Structure 1
Amino acid sequence: MKSIPLAVAHILATGALTALAPHTAQAQEAAGDNQANNQAIKRVVVTGSYISRADQETPSPVQVMTAADLKKSGYTTVSEALRDITANGQGTLSQGFNSFAAGASGVSLRGMTVGATLVLIDGHRMAPYPLSDDGQRPFVDITSIPMEAVERIEILKDGASAVYGSDAIAGVVNVILKKSFQGTSVLAETGTTQHGGGATHHLSLMRGFDLSDNTNGYVAVEYRHQDQIRLDQRDGPWTRMDWSGDPGGRDLRPGARNSIVSNPVTLTPYLQDPAQGSVAGAYAFLDNGCDFARRNANQCVYTNTWSQLQPATENLDLLASLTSRLNEDWTLGLKASYFDSKGQQTIRDSTIPVGSFAGVTAIGPNRAPAIVGTIDPGAYTVPASYPGNPFGHPAYVRALVPDTPFRRTDIDTKSYRAVADLNGTVAGWDIAAALGLTRVETETIYHGYLNPTALQRALNDTANPFKLTGGNSADVMAKVTPAVRGKATDELNFLELRASRELAKLEGGPLSLGTGLSFVHKSLNAPDPAEAQDGSVNALPNAYAIGKENNTALYAELAAPVLKTLELDAAVRADHYDTYGHSYTPKVGFKFSPSSMFSLRGTVSRGFRAPSATENGTGGLLYAFNTIRDPVLCPESNPDGSPNTDSPKNVPAQCELSPTYLQTTTKDLQPEKSKSYTLGVIVEPIKNWSTTLDYYKITVDNQIISASALASFDPLLYAVRGGPETVTYGDGSTGTSPVGTIQYISTPYVNGQTTSTAGAEFETRYRFKLNEAARMTVGLQWSHMFNYNMTLNGKTYNLAGTHGPAIVSGDTGNPKDRAQFTLSYDQGPFTISATTNYVSGFDVTDPSNGLTDCDSSLQANNSRWKAGQAPAQYCKVSSFTYTNLSMSYQINKAWTLSGSITNLFDRSPPVDAQTYGGNGINASSNGTGAAYNPSLHETGAVGRFYNVGLNYKF
């Protein structure tokens, strides 16, 4: 808590203006204006309830971001604006994060991961992104949502399974699109970064029309293109690759030699004589770009030009809407949309390794896992006849793959959505019926990945040997590094019927009942590429999931304003899934308002997340985990307990294994179950000033995790062996093994973990007049986490303010505090706004993963320093504060000029030396990425960004 006054003081000291104002006072002000004008108070449906009401302050806290708020944020995408909300925490995903869900963005309310945050469009479900977070948790990609078509975004910061069902454990993000539009609006924007890269162009066109007095429609078209930003276009400690200036530090630049990499890849390919070891005469460089002495002195390093801080993206969005009043009682709404989101992620350089190749574990929906494509020790060699080989016998190869310099993934996601809403009244009941068809298709093309067998065959080709210096034919490259294609689809179709009515008049207002039923069908088909299934291409993303699910639900809700000062709410929902059975989720809430200036509110609810097809369908996922010893093929030990690798009973290669782990699905999984509590106050001392403070606690039991995370997990019980084979024993003899060697470790999903988090969320907003023409709005939002307790193997770890949990959602960091200070000034046609965002610091440890001290934590995901020598200044990730400024000027009724500067003060991201999310991976540098956190500090990596736009309406 001590960090909060410092954070607020720091924010105020920057003199930052703001744009992204909380909603609370805005709703109250609108209601007050209506009353003053003797107008009827409009009843609305607020996210978290299906009962329309006049008071938009429900027992549950709801934040609203209007279309104007989104504009004032300074960003040009919905995903960027949502990334900065203070309730967004650990586990959030951005397009700059290299993950299983490449190309997508997701929101993680209260740090409970993207799988615990339900994202709706117009109050309805949308098909999830086909590539799940960590290959496990489905989520809706917010990257595809067009910004210009958004009317507002409502963020429910409370559990809502009693109304919406699965996934609404931590809250709900409801993106509400414009229902109608008049006239024509054309917007053109362009922007660029100060330090290079990231140029953005944005065009949108909206055309509204009246087909009759009762029918309005509009069509919206939006296009956005964003250039990539490469790591080499930025400078600062967080971009550093040469850490040799630190005690025990390593030089991790591409082409550098260090204590881990003895034979680095350089721009000059070279051969090594296996008979001579590492002496100077054992190396033959194939051109004059480098030699043995310069290589060893790290004079042959080269620039990392492939790592991206921000990927290249392109969006094309089409939306058509039609709203028709059929008669006095009935209205029909139709919406159809097509969102096309393209991205391009460059992952690393493509290298040819030295020595043996252990093969690829091939997995897929139509085959049992198996290691294939093994090349015998001493492979990846060139023959004695290879041009430039002076040794007279085969030699090892160390080279960049020529003619295909980088591994790159092209992602193209198409989202289709068609929804019909019918609303009316029958016999005093308000009726709402909806039918929706949604589908997301993600196509991926992988470039620069090696076919090991084809590469070795091309190196051995005496007639036309593979040219390590480049200039190979397209036919040869198509065999060595084929373009690998994959396609995944996710469908979600729904049918909903709801009814509500007033049952009686109570002292505080009408007693209202809402009830409804729904049917949701999901179908996921996300096979891995054919080349991953047959193992012909190495290092491809190796996950697949296929499954279907039907969910039928019935719910009821009651809103009872029993007194003028007291409202009681209750809801209950029953869900049936054809995959596991039933779930029942209740919720109760209250709001007590003894005066117009003060209200007390609270809720108690249960929630759940149903197992997805990635967890209980047909699926698999490969990953690296613990090193093990095979006690069958390595039974003999030294007196100190270490394996005796000289023993004639031991197979040394089986004494220290790093087998592939295969994550498998489990059919009898139960849903994750949650308990949520909120308690808060609303204070409105004067008109146009509203303040809320809410406490929350969420506990999730039965969390679905890999069995390998359990202390009781014995990998040998899950080991899958091949058949007996010829092996070499410690005394040099060979023979047939009594059992087959371990091919992989199969580990299922289990309900094995509990996570509980508690915190407080504060927001205040005051809108006042400076004079008759000028108004100012001041706001502050702040989220503080008291604890984030994860219970695993009977032990509880508090991960608030640490880097954990790495075993859940990408090791994104878990800051205790996020704050947002806003200030906006309006005078006539001119508006200037700014938002200052604050993310608190956190240490690099992760007790849930056994990383309880700084050095072990920094060693876990990188190799910047030798063990025991990590500098103390990197044990904590510093806080990060940045300001976005936006301005607009309405030239006349038709023309509006706008501009924005994000990261106004050009703040750099803090160094995060523990994360593995920062791109920068290089095979010759032991896999270390850039030392920054793309989930929390992406704005700092991008740097100062200028944007200017012109809007024409007629």
Structure 2
Amino acid sequence: MFAAPAFAQTTVPDQAQTTPAPDAATQDGGDIVVTGSILRGGDTGVSPVTTLTTENLDRRGINTVQDAIQQLSSNNGAALTNSFTANGAFAGGASAVSLRGLSTSSTLVLFDGLRAAYYPLADDGSRNFVDLNTIPDDIVERIEILRDGASSSYGADAIAGVVNVITKRKFNGVSGRAEAGISEDGVAANQRLTLTAGTGDLDEKGYNAYISGFFYRSEAVYNRDLPGVFGTDDQRSIGGPNGILNGRDANGAIGAFDLGSTLYIRPGTTGRFQILNPTAGCKAGPSISPTAADLAASATLPTSNICQEDFTNQYGVVSPNIERFGGSARFTAKIGDSSEAYLAVNFQQNTSSYTGFPATIRGAAPTGILFPQFSTASGAANFAPGSAILTLPVYVCAARVNCTAANGTLNPNNPFAVAGQTVQLVGRSPTGVTQNETRSRVYRAAFGIGGTVFGDWDYKVDATAMHTDLRRKQNGYVYIQNLLNVIADGTYNFVNPSLNSAAINNYLTPENITDASSDLYQAQFTVGKALFDLPGGPLQVGVGGSIFYEAVNAPSANPDINGPTQRYFTINAFGTEGNRTVTSAFGEIKAPVFDQLELTAAGRYDHYSSGQSNFSPKFGAKFTPFRQLTLRGTYSRGFRIPSFAEANALPTTGYVTQQISAIPAAFLAQYGANCRPDNSAGCPTYLTAYSIGQTTLASPNLQPEKSRSFTGGVVFEPLSNVTLTVDYYNIRKTGAITSPSSAPAIAAYYAGAAIPAGYNVIADAPDVNTPNARPRIAFVESQLINSDTIKSEGIDFGANTYFDIGAFKWTSNLNASLILELSTTFPGGRRETYVDTLGNFNLTAGSGTFRWRGNWANTFEYDKVALTGTVNYTSGYDLSAMDQGDAYADCGQAPGYTGCRVKSYITFDMNASVAVTDKFTFYVNALNLFDRLPDVDPVTYGAHLYNAVQGGNGIFGRSFRAGAKFGF
């Protein structure tokens, strides 16, 4: 990333750029308060700080703050991207940063140094975070990323670092922009409009006021829009077993029978299935007919017409529809000769929507509270004992129970009713696909006054209020009881679903609307004073206090309080509610002992109304033996408070892919002699397309996670226009809140052994084709505990140069992060390490921990023309994950048809701009100029066959964007 520190700022950032950030040097009357300090000019290079300005983001062709933060080299693994939220993420519609790979809950996001309301939905149903999509792009002045622990300044959540979004302090005139972009293949279209108007001069008139508004839209991208294997279930081009659902493999054989949106039946409870309506044929996709040899080789294939349904190509979504708009206003005024006050208000609406697969009309419902396992054991009518296969009765009647020839009629959906035979029905909803939409509305106001009193006392008082309304709309999901009702009374036409009325379709899949909210109210003050002079300068002391209230109210979108069937298939049951008040006191001291040595110390005490408290100290030192060389280092302790979801929430269920290679041969043998760990092609899709639900149970007795971190860095400036930085970090988090690894419980179930204490394993519905085999696992339940020790260690590198040769200027910024270790140590000493693998799989959705991330940007300017080229790099990784039962880098998660590694990913972006006049600039972006696509990853489940964190927007291929901006 580019960085643009002000000349007055002596902080040496991760990257340097000599163009000053507008207004930065005059913030608060001359010196600025850098993120991580409460003193003016307080952090003068002790901690590593990255500064991003909107000017430099423009040069790189990055058009949202969310994208800029996601592309930070220090952002790793467990980040939450917009593309992942279109693939079943708990926190749908949101985006979050994960510095140092320590998850979204260990990075604190601030607005103008104040806390922000959490997104109402938790990441993975457990981790609180601030949604990056709620940042008002049009009024952002700069973004400061403190790559160091900062609990001593800000309290909880700042273990891995802080992202501080700083908005414009003042604006005079009128400015705006209009831009639009699209990929070379005609997808991923996006548009942005902004307009800002301000008046008043703070110095001459004593006030400034501005208003601003923006609109942003990006269109959904579907898998069918992507090339090659990324757009299809047909994996034969990469050596995969079955081509598409129920298709022929590379050897010409038909794969195991699986279920699509075409409905199949079989009389009784045994035998082969057949299409319910053979005249209509397949609902989606062509059909193939099994040969006599096919039927002889498999007792599970239907008698005829096997439908090939390419789910990924027909329904898969890469990125959701996103639409954002909002407005902001700020009034700033001088108060006397030495103070300044402001009032700022913001509103923003963000809508994210996408479609899914055809709805499930058979299967186990997600784990709930009162009825954690839904099956016929609960007495639900029309379900076969011990399974979730629907049974169509012989007779239907208005009473829906005890239907006979006397009070009902033969079931029109059961072609065997006339023979007095029930049938079993399998398949997905044939009448449409699921639809999901999240709409968040964010309201924020902030007020503050600061300056100097009593001659030399600096003071600042700030207050903020932020409220988020979140509405989730879900359509197309089958409501279980309504499904049972229409089966029993025969009002739904399964034979010819197109004849069903809108009313009956809506009855079967009623719209599900769930409202959630979050709140944050904060007031804080700081005072500071230079006490006396030391040989290196004045000794500064600052103290402050804060009180804030935070709350989340996110009810379950699929509660089971009314009974086991009074809910939807497949909608997760998670939800949480809670509130707390936090009071804090903090202080800081800066002592320039002499010209070459500066020492800092800070501490903060936080007390929570929920009973927890914590003291967080921090110490820093900067030594400059000569002007060109600076040595710096910090030591701090921090904490993360248990989230509302971790302490008080309904069970949450995440899904992880179960590889055939990790299932014992003895278990697989039940599904045929050819079904082996080394031969997935011989196994039914029931096992090859298999994910285990990992259900997390909250615990109100959790304690805060504690952290210890230190940094050590070198800043070398051999020339005034060349800066080289190297910063080492080491973070250890103890008492980490986690659910125990599910591996012991999974291994015990497969082996037929007793399930270990602390776990509950719930079996899935049996395979419809092998009903007598021991079923696969549906869910593994375990309760959150303070248990583990997590360590993150690495090195950040920066190389920044600026040359001005007459009319020609060259700026170069190289930024890279190397993770040396990311590991978890469990009680008893067992250790899992994740760098360069898919781990921490449970934390990252299998997106892994990249050893290297970095970018190198070069800007060439001549007269009115500027050209910027940026190389983006993310390293590859091994297809293994120790938290999935593998040894380190043993390729244990790789299916047999792929190699052991996913390759590194490199893209190149180009941006050109022309200042037509001093008031008008035209620009063109070429993103992923060389049309590079990420390597195939068959294991990561946040996207289809690629890693969404590694691939980012590069998956869209070569894209272009053009725009114009003006300012008067």
Provide the TM-score with structure 1 as the length reference. Answer: 0.84
Mapped contact 1:361–1:369 kept (Cα < 8 A): yes
Query: Secondary structure of the equivalent of 1:503?
Result: strand
Following superposition, the deviation at residue 706 of structure 1 comes to 1.5
* TM-superposition CA deviations, 1:547-582 (whole Å, max 9, x none): 111111111100111100110011011111122322
* Partner in structure 1 of residue 483 of structure 2: 455
Query: Secondary structure of the equivalent of 1:505?
Result: strand
* Partner in structure 1 of residue 952 of structure 2: 938
**2:281 is aligned with 1:285:** no
Distance in structure 2 (CA, Å) of the matches to 1:618 and 1:300: 41
Which residue identity is paired with 1:789? Answer: S
Q: What does 1:805-820 correspond to in 2, within 5 Å?
A: 805-820=840-855
* Partner in structure 1 of residue 210 of structure 2: 218
Following superposition, the deviation at residue 313 of structure 1 comes to 0.5
Distance in structure 2 (CA, Å) of the matches to 1:362 and 1:900: 48
**2:947 is aligned with 1:952:** no
* Partner in structure 2 of residue 781 of structure 1: 815
Distance in structure 1 (CA, Å) of the matches to 2:507 and 2:379: 15
* TM-superposition CA deviations, 1:194-234 (whole Å, max 9, x none): 12321111111101122981111111101011110100011
**2:99 is aligned with 1:64:** no
**2:192 is aligned with 1:191:** no
Q: What does 1:131-170 correspond to in 2, within 5 Å?
A: 131-170=121-160
Distance in structure 1 (CA, Å) of the matches to 2:492 and 2:355: 30
Mapped contact 1:716–1:745 kept (Cα < 8 A): no
Which residue identity is paired with 1:277? Answer: G
Following superposition, the deviation at residue 456 of structure 1 comes to 3.4
Mapped contact 1:254–1:266 kept (Cα < 8 A): no
Following superposition, the deviation at residue 68 of structure 1 comes to 0.7
Change (3 A) 1:443 1:786: same
**2:914 is aligned with 1:889:** yes
* Partner in structure 2 of residue 702 of structure 1: 735
**2:812 is aligned with 1:799:** no
Distance in structure 2 (CA, Å) of the matches to 1:113 and 1:474: 44
Following superposition, the deviation at residue 434 of structure 1 comes to 0.9
* Partner in structure 1 of residue 390 of structure 2: 380
The count of residues paired between Structure 1 and Structure 2 equals 862
Distance in structure 2 (CA, Å) of the matches to 1:952 and 1:626: 50
Which residue identity is paired with 2:53? Answer: T
> Gaps spanning 5+ residues in structure 1: where?
1-17, 628-639, 645-655, 723-731, 733-741, 860-864, 919-929
Which residue identity is paired with 2:877? Answer: F
Following superposition, the deviation at residue 525 of structure 1 comes to 0.7
Mapped contact 1:240–1:931 kept (Cα < 8 A): no
* Partner in structure 1 of residue 83 of structure 2: 96
Change (3 A) 1:707 1:328: same
Which residue identity is paired with 2:928? Answer: N
* Partner in structure 1 of residue 330 of structure 2: 321
Equivalent residue for 1:301, pick from 287, 296, 309: 309
Mapped contact 1:719–1:743 kept (Cα < 8 A): no
607-616 vs 893-902, greater mean Cα deviation: 893-902
Equivalent residue for 1:515, pick from 543, 559, 562: 543
* Partner in structure 1 of residue 674 of structure 2: none
Which residue identity is paired with 2:821? Answer: N
**2:471 is aligned with 1:443:** yes
Which residue identity is paired with 1:376? Answer: F
601-610 vs 802-811, greater mean Cα deviation: 802-811
Distance in structure 1 (CA, Å) of the matches to 2:693 and 2:21: 64
Equivalent residue for 2:621, pick from 590, 594, 598: 590
* Partner in structure 2 of residue 871 of structure 1: 897
Provide the TM-score with structure 2 as the length reference. Answer: 0.83
Mapped contact 1:135–1:614 kept (Cα < 8 A): yes
Distance in structure 2 (CA, Å) of the matches to 1:208 and 1:586: 42
Mapped contact 1:344–1:411 kept (Cα < 8 A): yes
* TM-superposition CA deviations, 1:5-29 (whole Å, max 9, x none): xxxxxxxxxxxxx967897498685
Mapped contact 2:127–2:645 kept (Cα < 8 A): yes
Q: What does 1:610-759 correspond to in 2, within 5 Å?
A: 610-622=641-653, 662-707=695-740, 709=742, 747-759=782-794
Following superposition, the deviation at residue 503 of structure 1 comes to 0.8
Q: Percent identity?
A: 29
Mapped contact 1:19–1:824 kept (Cα < 8 A): no
Which residue identity is paired with 2:897? Answer: P
Distance in structure 2 (CA, Å) of the matches to 1:464 and 1:43: 72
* Partner in structure 2 of residue 653 of structure 1: none
Following superposition, the deviation at residue 720 of structure 1 comes to 8.6
> Gaps spanning 5+ residues in structure 2: where?
6-11, 291-301, 395-409, 659-665, 671-686, 749-753, 763-771
Following superposition, the deviation at residue 798 of structure 1 comes to 2.2
Distance in structure 2 (CA, Å) of the matches to 1:536 and 1:753: 36
* Partner in structure 2 of residue 900 of structure 1: 925
* TM-superposition CA deviations, 1:87-107 (whole Å, max 9, x none): 111201101103111111111
Which residue identity is paired with 1:697? Answer: N
Which residue identity is paired with 1:677? Answer: F
Following superposition, the deviation at residue 758 of structure 1 comes to 1.1
* Partner in structure 2 of residue 50 of structure 1: 38
* Partner in structure 1 of residue 406 of structure 2: none
* Partner in structure 2 of residue 7 of structure 1: none
Distance in structure 2 (CA, Å) of the matches to 1:147 and 1:624: 34
* TM-superposition CA deviations, 1:761-797 (whole Å, max 9, x none): 1101110023x11101012111111111211242122
Q: What does 1:386-425 correspond to in 2, within 5 Å?
A: 386-387=411-412, 389-391=414-416, 392=419, 393-403=421-431, 405-425=432-452
Following superposition, the deviation at residue 831 of structure 1 comes to 1.3
Query: Secondary structure of the equivalent of 2:515?
Result: strand
Distance in structure 2 (CA, Å) of the matches to 1:50 and 1:510: 16
**2:227 is aligned with 1:235:** yes
Change (3 A) 1:843 1:746: closer
Which residue identity is paired with 1:664? Answer: L
* TM-superposition CA deviations, 1:570-599 (whole Å, max 9, x none): 101111112232211111111101111111
* TM-superposition CA deviations, 1:254-280 (whole Å, max 9, x none): 777999974434565443334661277
Query: Secondary structure of the equivalent of 2:841?
Result: coil
Change (3 A) 1:210 1:458: same
Change (3 A) 1:471 1:373: farther
Distance in structure 2 (CA, Å) of the matches to 1:581 and 1:108: 25
Higher relative contact order (CA 8 A, sep 6+): 1
Distance in structure 2 (CA, Å) of the matches to 1:25 and 1:769: 21
Following superposition, the deviation at residue 877 of structure 1 comes to 1.0
Query: Secondary structure of the equivalent of 1:285?
Result: coil
* TM-superposition CA deviations, 1:917-941 (whole Å, max 9, x none): 11xxxxxxxxxxx111112212221
Mapped contact 1:271–1:285 kept (Cα < 8 A): no
Which residue identity is paired with 2:476? Answer: G
Mapped contact 1:401–1:468 kept (Cα < 8 A): no
Change (3 A) 1:269 1:617: closer
Mapped contact 2:556–2:650 kept (Cα < 8 A): no
Equivalent residue for 1:347, pick from 327, 350, 356: 356
Distance in structure 2 (CA, Å) of the matches to 1:30 and 1:132: 39
* Partner in structure 1 of residue 610 of structure 2: 579
Following superposition, the deviation at residue 872 of structure 1 comes to 4.8
Following superposition, the deviation at residue 321 of structure 1 comes to 0.9
* TM-superposition CA deviations, 1:501-532 (whole Å, max 9, x none): 10111111111001101011111111112655
Distance in structure 1 (CA, Å) of the matches to 2:778 and 2:561: 16
Equivalent residue for 2:502, pick from 474, 489, 492: 474
Mapped contact 2:837–2:889 kept (Cα < 8 A): no
Distance in structure 2 (CA, Å) of the matches to 1:490 and 1:820: 36
Change (3 A) 1:235 1:252: same
Mapped contact 1:43–1:52 kept (Cα < 8 A): yes
Which residue identity is paired with 1:569? Answer: T
**2:164 is aligned with 1:174:** yes
Mapped contact 1:268–1:287 kept (Cα < 8 A): no
